[in-house]
Chain A
Amino acid sequence: MTSIGLQHYLLLAAALFCLGILTMTLKRNAIGILIGVELILNAANLNLVAFTRYRTGAIDGQIVAVFIILLAAAEAAIAIAIFMNFYNSLATIDVDRADQLQG
């Protein structure tokens, strides 16, 4: 039986990152894109915590992870407020409908 090590966490984070990119590119719903962003941020957090635990031994990586969780919350709050505003004028949050500004 192999023990779980740094590699496994990094691979999981890389997988999350790829899923996040896929979600962002394939979803047409603004909330869906935001979920993709959250996936990538969580991949970053996983990386940071795993690196701190297995590699550097210092605590600063975990501090960064805490701040990134906080940022994700702040970003989601403001993004959803903006989506609401968009919804109020178009009754949809499909990003393909955001086509007034072009050129």
Chain B
Amino acid sequence: MLLAIANSFWMPDLDAVVAIGPLWGLAGTIVAIVLAALVLGRSAAVSSVITIIGATLTAWICFTHAPRVAQSAWAGLAPAGGSPMLLVDNFAILFILLICLFLACVTGLWMIGASTNARESAAHLRNGPEFFVLLVGSAFGMALMVSTTNLLMIILAIEMASLPSYAIVGFQKRNRIAAEASLKYVLFGAVTSALMAYGISLLYGFYGTLDVNEIGRLVSTELAATDTPAAAKALISVALFGLMAGIGFKISAVPFHFWCPDVFEGASIEVTTWLSVASKAAGLGLLLRIIAAVLQPLAETFDNPLSTTVAMFAAVTCTVGNLAAFPQTSVKRLLAYSSIAHAGYMLMAGAIIWQAKPGSDVANPAFAALIVYIIVYLFMNLGAFGCTALVYWATGSEKIEAFRGLGRRSPLIAAAMTVCLFSLVGLPPFGGFIAKFYLLMALFKSNLVWLVAVALLNSIFSLYFYSRIAYAMYFADDGKPAFSVPAFGRALVIAAAIVILLTGIPIAGGLIGRANQFASHLYPIAARTTFAEPQAAAAKDPIPLAARSAP
């Protein structure tokens, strides 16, 4: 009897458990922080050390995991005969590695903040364990976001990433600005996730499955086979719009970007750093998966309006971000708009992949360019936010005025900030230039010349507002005394600047080469047919909608 019940549950075998190894690493970190707080007492230092160890361990699991994945085409956790709920392939591993690296950096930044900022550090240290549980929880959600193609898991992953983020934005209690930022964040998040749930319920209803790949196949076969009535097209658009609302919120693409500047300004600076990169990278990963699976076959059949949608979104996001950054006086807010603009540049790579026909050779360069862009962007933002944090902790202000005379007051920080800023513009000797160059090349190859023009114009706009900070640092000295910053903080921003310089000059050829090589191993468009094979055996034939009878 008991055995029968036990057998009726689906039990994962050891292979399946090993196959999602990196996710166990992050989940285990959360448990370890909670247990350590219970056993050793509440200590911020212990939790931060556990977070760094957990991130390192997860990265190590990723490295040992990658060769196994390469051998066996895909690795997922799937009930027998079903589609994989979790899919930790090389695509996911790349993003999980980036998330782990960034988790460690943000933890480092937090430690610097706790040690230098006397005013806030008491509360900082007292609530350390909660903060790290929430931080690693959102990292876990982001890792889930990039490793699934199942609509249910997509909802769960986005919520897992979002709910802790809302809490850490409002983590400084009795801070009015933080309270307001978290209020706006939670309301926007709740609304977009509700829209997404509704869109997903419609998609499930239309196609009778939750697997994104199968939905993609069904959409394309159905639309190719019959003259679909306009009403059906409209309904599909509504459902897809709902799905996009959830993801657009995570990457702050334009109609869903309103939360971004307010939240970035209101949250404490290490949280802002975390949200500006990790959350965006995870959202882009998820978007690429969905574009690859659902939307790309859709673009082939839906020739007219939808084929340029992503390109339009990218162009508008980029332009709005850059224009709104013009009048800003707070560096944090300026960088928030800059991150919206960069989401736009990265969406351009998505636009290429969206419009790529199967078998064409434009998708892989776009993937490679996007990988390089995300990596470089990660370091640029880490450096820029790191410098802003150090200046804030030393002067108590994050306005542009606080940067006046920084070139004399703290030359190393000013130099690192300058490198990051000009790299964000995309000027030549820095990594940002290389990233943008490959992106523009990929755009050019896929005949999206108008997007190239948009990107170039935007880069010229952005030169103005980024150089306002540089101008303040070097040419607007107001004679304030010099200050020193903690050695670890200096090391962090200088390391970020050095990485930007290195990706900018000597090894850039190697970097794009590796990215290209990697892109062809990823779960890519070009190889989509080969990817679908292991699934095709398990998945049932697509049932035409008419043939499905009501019970």
Q: Is the CB of B204 within 8 A of A103?
A: no
Contacts A85-B182, A100-B180 hold; do A63 and B205 have CB atoms under 8 A apart? Answer: no
Shortest Cβ distance from residue B35 to the other chain A in the assembled complex, whole angstroms? 22
Q: Is the CB of B179 within 8 A of A20?
A: no
Q: Is the CB of B550 within 8 A of A30?
A: no
Which of B159, B180, B266 interacts with A75 by CB under 8 Å? B159
Interface centre among A10, A79, A101 (most CB of B within 10 A): A101
Per-residue contact bits, chain A 22-64, to B (CB 8 Å; 1 contact, 0 not): 0010000010011011001101110110110111111011011
Q: Is the CB of A51 within 8 A of B205?
A: yes
Q: Is the CB of B159 within 8 A of A74?
A: yes
Answer yes or no: B186 CB below 8 A from chain A CBs: yes
Per-residue contact bits, chain B 197-214, to A (CB 8 Å; 1 contact, 0 not): 110111011001110000
Contacts A58-B208, A103-B328 hold; do A64 and B266 have CB atoms under 8 A apart? Answer: no
Number of CB contacts from chain A to chain B under 8 A: 148
Shortest Cβ distance from residue B155 to the other chain A in the assembled complex, whole angstroms? 7
Q: Is the CB of A79 within 8 A of B186?
A: yes
Q: Is the CB of A86 within 8 A of B197?
A: no
A-side interface mostly: helix
The segment from B187-195, B289-297, B508-516 found at the interface with A is B187-195
In the complex, A13→B181 CA distance in Å? 32
Answer yes or no: A12 CB below 8 A from chain B CBs: no
In the complex, A78→B190 CA distance in Å? 10
- List the A side residues contacting B205 at CB < 8 Å: 10, 47-48, 50-51, 55-56, 61
Shortest Cβ distance from residue A102 to the other chain B in the assembled complex, whole angstroms? 8
Residue of A nearest to B327 (CB): A103
In the complex, A5→B170 CA distance in Å? 46
Answer yes or no: B404 CB below 8 A from chain A CBs: no
Shortest Cβ distance from residue A73 to the other chain B in the assembled complex, whole angstroms? 11
Answer yes or no: A11 CB below 8 A from chain B CBs: no
Interface size class of A (residues with CB under 8 A): 35 or more
- List the A side residues contacting B193 at CB < 8 Å: 71, 75
Q: Is the CB of B156 within 8 A of A71?
A: yes
Q: Is the CB of B191 within 8 A of A47?
A: no
Chain A residues near B (Cβ < 8 Å): 5-6, 10, 13, 17, 20, 24, 30, 33-34, 36-37, 40-41, 43-45, 47-48, 50-51, 53-58, 60-61, 63-64, 67-68, 71, 74-75, 78-79, 81-83, 85-86, 88-90, 95, 98, 100-103
Chain B residues near A (Cβ < 8 Å): 151-152, 155-156, 159, 163, 166-167, 170, 173-177, 179-184, 186-187, 190-191, 193-195, 197-198, 200-202, 204-205, 208-210, 261-262, 265-266, 327-328, 333, 548, 550-551
Q: Could you list 17 examples of A-B contacts with CB < 8 Å?
A: A20-B194, A43-B198, A44-B198, A47-B205, A51-B204, A55-B208, A56-B205, A56-B548, A61-B205, A64-B210, A71-B156, A75-B163, A78-B163, A79-B186, A82-B186, A89-B175, A101-B180
